[in-house]
A and B are shown apart, each in its own frame.
Chain A
Amino acid sequence: MKVGSVRRRTLIALAFLLPNLLGFLIFTAGPIVFSLYMSLTDWSLTKHNQFSDQPLQFVGFDNYAKILWGSESEFFWDYFENTLFLMIGIPISIAGSLVLAIMLSTKCTPTRLGSRLKSALIAGGVTVLACLGAWLVTTPTMDPAFADEAARAVMSDETGLTDLSGFQVATLRSHAAILAVAVLGGLITFGLGIGQVFFRTVFYLPTLLAGVAMFLLWKTLYRPKGGLVNAVLQPVLDTLDATVGAVPPFMWYALGVVIWLITLALCVKLVLVGLDRLKHNEAGIAAFCARLGIVATLGATGWFVGYWSAQLPERALLPTGLAPITAAQLDSVSTDLQALASGDASLIAGAIEELKAIAPVPVEQTVESLVKPATVAGVELASLSQAVESNAGASFDGYTAGEGLQAPEWLISATWAKTALIVMGVWLGIGGGNMLLYLAGLSNIPPELYEAASIDGASGWQQFIHVTWPQLAPTTFFIVIMSTIGGLQGGFEQVMIMTQGKADTRVLAYYQYELAFTDQFQLGLASAVGWVMTGFIFVLTAVNFRLGSQLTND
């Protein structure tokens, strides 16, 4: 609308704009310039505060040099690596979101209100009955066997529950079973009654609640002993271990070789097809990528099985070669070690025999060095006893001698902490905004395209490759760009709450926090880190745009 003089219109516009513009200039536009300036100075809260206002030193690009190849570069690149590692979760999460969206848009629940209510009522009734059934079946009666002291002792020994009688244990397990039935039945009932919206809400919950409270919950879930994750995982690992143990090693080798051969054949075919396509000038990138994905998956599986089977001979040796050292043995060894110190020759010989019987190979060399004058041996004693003691809890790549495969210690272990964060991240993000975007994208695909494709005789998979995936390309493009930007900056909260920066989990955002707001308060350096991250973000976004424009043109 162009009413009134330019002056008047500008004044009115300014009146509307002013509150926001003021805040925008002070807290958004201004700080961008300010930050650029800060990154070129030695700004630090320890030097420049209300008590000591030292003159600000202009240091040029020193901060950037320090980060990229100077004294701080070691940390910076290490944390950058961690950040990239955590971003492995992004493609997994996006693929999962797409799968969830496709599942949600399959009309698998009744659509009409009447049939919805009817099926929900039936499912609800069945659930109530099932709960009753579970109650009847699992609730223990006061079995005389449980009242028996001996039976109670056995039960206590099995579960490690000293205070609870077998009857109590059985009652609690019965409660748990009823609860499980109720949760399952509830999901089915609401799923049938409400349909897509119900599952969408359930999948969206983690994203909605992603914050400190959620990370505290996951910290509890990841506890090595008593956490839900390992409570679910350990039985699986035990079964796996038993299966692996039952199958002779050569079978695993054979399986690995067979998968490798299939992979090889597929690779050859892929190359041939690709050449053929090029000859006929059909790019077909989507189809090409899909094939590449299958081949890569098979290759990875083959590698995994092959690698794993290569470990088997040693693993098979473990139970005999490295029997766990019992407390009694350890005791006797330490008695022997004391005897050694006394320098008695006959006792030394006895101790050596004993150590040879129970100690791993490296200790044997130490034992030989013990056949020296007792004074020298005394010096070696410490290292020997250390070797024996550390072997008592020896663990080889998740395999503790005699105890089978152990579930990882997740957040405590430097090997597994990042994986733990990735798994949680996928769980958090899979049903979030990305899934909703894919849902909208799916509902925008014109049905005629599918009709045409099915008339041409395209299978479900072909329809996905040639209709769904290309039609969703703009959505995927947007999601990939936003996730990459978020991924490079993210991770601070998780790391701060769940690992406190331990277990090799520090990310760039954490690094920036550490530089700026802990002991040194090096605001200048932290600003420079922010700008370097911005640089990475721009580069990655540019790469995404490049790849994306190819993908969407396909």
Chain B
Amino acid sequence: MSKQQLAASEQLDVVGRKPFPLVRALVFVGLVLLGITFVLPFVWQVLISVSSLTDVDLLTQLGYPPDLKPENYGEVFEKVEFARYFFNSIFIAGWATLLQVITCAMAAYAFARLSWPGRDKVFFLYLGTLMVPGVVLMVPNFVIVLRLGMFNDYLGLIIPAAFSAYGTFLLRQFMLTVPSSLDEAAAIDGASHWRIFTQIMLPMARPGLIVLAIFAFLFNYNSFFWPLILIKDDNLRTLPIGLMAFDSTYGRDTPLIMAGSLMAMIPPIIVFLVLQKYLVKGIQLGAVKG
């Protein structure tokens, strides 16, 4: 493609024609207006979180709090074990993510690169369970975790999340795209499967691993139902459960609730801003958890 053609194709929109300047301006205005509806609630949240309790109702009339009260943020940590919830959430989501990526990558290697009798049957079993909705698994898993003695325990939140049929499937698809000539060459050079796996497969499938890691982290960080039924002790609560309890105890103190929920939103935002490229690609490849 010549330079001119390239310049021309850059100007083409999805409809294949160069849109009129007016249309482009209107679309931009539309995007900005929509952007406001998406940003406004968060601006509002910030404003409430620095208001004093008595001023919350005035916000609708004034649009700005009469007294700025950033101490609300410190108060959240005094009122409840917020730092503890934060640690629990990160700790559990972190371990679950790490273990899930490791177990899924290893299993995916076995499905994508090793040939063994019954491989396709086992893989079909994995695929089949993806069709069964999550609502079916909750109740029996609760009984299983109860019997394994992991009730009200970090382990009960981490271990069931450390395996995933979906993640195995996702990584297998990624590994299939890695050219097999690479590991065949390594095998001829006498490399063991473990070596091929760690030194060729994992680096080559890195985007896939990151996609799975993001999904697993966000999923476990936001996880609500499972810790809700499994955790009884206050100091084992994760952020979602801690926030819910906070709301039911201090629900009238809206500024505190907003300060707490705003802080809980920070880790996903950081993950997203840093790894946005991978996440978007992952979703667009159809890696959506159903």
Candidates A176, A209, A220, A437; contact of B62 at CB < 8 Å: A176
B280 part of interface (Cβ distance < 8 Å): yes
Chain A residues with CB below 8 A from B62, complex form? 159, 169, 172-173, 176
Does the CB pair B163–A27 fall under 8 Å? yes
A108 at the interface (CB under 8 A from B): yes
Instruction: Output the least CB separation between A527 and chain B (Å).
Output: 5
Closest to A464 in B: B15
By a CB distance below 8 angstroms, the chain B residues around A32 are 129, 132, 136-137, 140
- In the complex, per-residue mask of B235-274: 1 if CB is within 8 Å of any chain A CB, else 0: 0000111011001000000100110111011001100110
Closest CB in chain A relative to B223 CB, distance in Å? 9
What 0/1 pattern do residues 172 to 210 of A give for CB contact below 8 A with B?
110111011001100110010000010111111110111
Residues in A neighbouring B258, C-beta threshold 8 A: 216-217, 220
Is there an interface contact between A38 and B39, defined as CB atoms closer than 8 Å?
Answer: no
Interface SS majority for chain A: helix
Interface string of A1-37 (1 = CB under 8 A from B): 1110010011011101101111110111111101100
Q: Which chain A residues border B57 with CB–CB below 8 Å?
A: 225-226
Given A23-B163, A26-B144, A213-B261, are A445 and B14 neighbors across the interface (CB < 8 Å)?
yes
Beta-carbon contacts of A428-466 to B below 8 Å, as 1s and 0s?
000101001101101101010111011000001001100
A468 located at the interface, meaning its Cβ lies under 8 Å from any Cβ of chain B in the complex: yes
Smallest Cβ-Cβ distance to B221: which chain A residue: A211
Contact B240 A38 (CB under 8 A): no
Q: Could you tell me if B269 and A1 are in contact, using CB atoms closer than 8 angstroms?
A: no
Q: Is the CB of A447 within 8 A of B129?
A: no
Q: Which residues of A contact B64 (CB under 8 A)?
A: 172-173, 175-176, 179
Across the interface, name the chain A residue whose C-beta is closest to B184. A1
Q: Contacts A32-B129, A216-B243, A530-B139 given: A12-B114 contact, CB under 8 Å? A: yes
Would you call B60 an interface residue if the criterion is a C-beta within 8 Å of the partner chain's C-beta atoms?
yes
CB-based contact A211/B280 at 8 Å: no
Given the complex of chains A and B, what is the CA–CA distance between A483 and B200 in angstroms? Answer: 37
Complex CA gap A173/B63 in Å reads 6
Q: In chain B, residues 42-66, which have Cβ atoms closer than 8 Å to a Cβ of chain A?
A: 42-45, 48, 56-66
Contacts of A449 in B (CB 8 A): 16
Q: B133's contact among A31, A439, A537, by CB below 8 Å, is which?
A: A537
* Chain A residues with CB under 8 A of B254: 220
Chain B residues with CB under 8 Å of A12's CB are 114, 116, 193
Q: How big is the B interface, by class?
A: 35 or more
CB neighbours of A230 from chain B (8 A): 60
Task: Let me know if B19 is at the binding interface, CB within 8 A.
Answer: yes
Which of A111, A187, A468, A486 meets B35, CB within 8 Å?
A187
Contact between A19 and B103, CB atoms less than 8 A apart: yes
Contacts of A209 in B (CB 8 A): 265, 268-269
Interface pair B17/A208, CB less than 8 Å apart: no
B125 within 8 A of A: yes
Shortest distance from the beta carbon of B50 to any chain A beta carbon, whole Å: 12
Most central of B11, B16, B27, B103 by chain A CB within 10 Å: B16
* Cβ B265 vs Cβ A38 within 8 A: no
Q: Taking each of A12, A106, A442, which has the highest tally of chain B beta carbons within 10 Å of its own beta carbon?
A: A106
Residues in A neighbouring B87, C-beta threshold 8 A: none
Task: Tell me, yes or no, whether A485 is within 8 Å of chain B by CB.
Answer: yes
Q: Is the CB of B135 within 8 A of A108?
A: no
A246-276 vs B, Cβ < 8 Å mask (1 yes, 0 no): 0000000000000000000000000000000
> Which of A335-343, A382-390, A512-520 is the contact stretch?
A512-520
Q: In the complex the two chains form, what is the Cα distance from A509 to B135 in whole Å?
A: 7
Give the A-B contact count at a CB cut-off of 8 A: 341
* A23 contacts B159, C-beta separation under 8 Å: yes
Partner pick for A16 among B41, B107, B142, CB 8 A cutoff: B107
Q: Which residues of B sit under 8 angstroms from A179, Cβ to Cβ?
A: 43, 63-64
Cβ–Cβ < 8 Å partners of A213 in chain B: 239-240, 243, 260-262, 264-265
> B83 an interface residue at 8 Å Cβ cutoff?
no
CB-CB < 8 A to A219: which residues of B? 247
**Contact residues in A for B229 (Cβ distance below 8 Å):** 513, 516-517
Which stretch from B73-81, B205-213, B281-289 is at the chain A interface? B281-289
Q: Does B278 contact A (CB under 8 A)?
A: no
B30 contacts A by Cβ under 8 Å: yes
Interface residues of A in 392-450 (CB under 8 A from B): 427, 431, 433, 436-437, 439-440, 442-443, 445, 447, 449-450
- Residues of chain A within 8 A (CB-CB) of B42 are 205, 217
A6 to B116, CA, bound (A): 7
CA distance A102 to B269 in the complex (A): 25
Residues of B within 8 A of A212 (CB): 222, 224, 239-241, 243-244, 261, 264
Interface 1/0 per residue, A137-156 and B, CB below 8 Å: 00000000000000000000
CB-based nearest B residue for A100: B34
CB distance from B281 to the nearest CB of A (A): 9
Q: Judging by beta carbons under 8 Å apart, are A201 and B139 in contact?
A: no
- Chain B hits for A197, CB < 8 A: 276
In the complex, chain A residues whose CB is within 8 Å of the CB of B159: 23, 27
With the chains together, A531 CA to B119 CA distance in Å?
29
Complex: how many Å from CA A310 to CA B232?
Answer: 55
Identify which of residues 191-224 in chain B touch chain A, using a CB-to-CB cut-off of 8 Å: 193, 197, 218, 221-222, 224
> Nearest-CB distance from A328 to chain B (Å)?
27
Q: In whole angstroms, how far apart are the Cα atoms of A526 and B45 in the complex? A: 37
A-B contact pairs, 5 of them (CB 8 A): A23-B162, A26-B144, A27-B141, A35-B139, A173-B63
Q: Which 6 A-B pairs have the closest CB atoms?
A: A450-B16, A23-B163, A176-B63, A213-B261, A20-B107, A31-B140
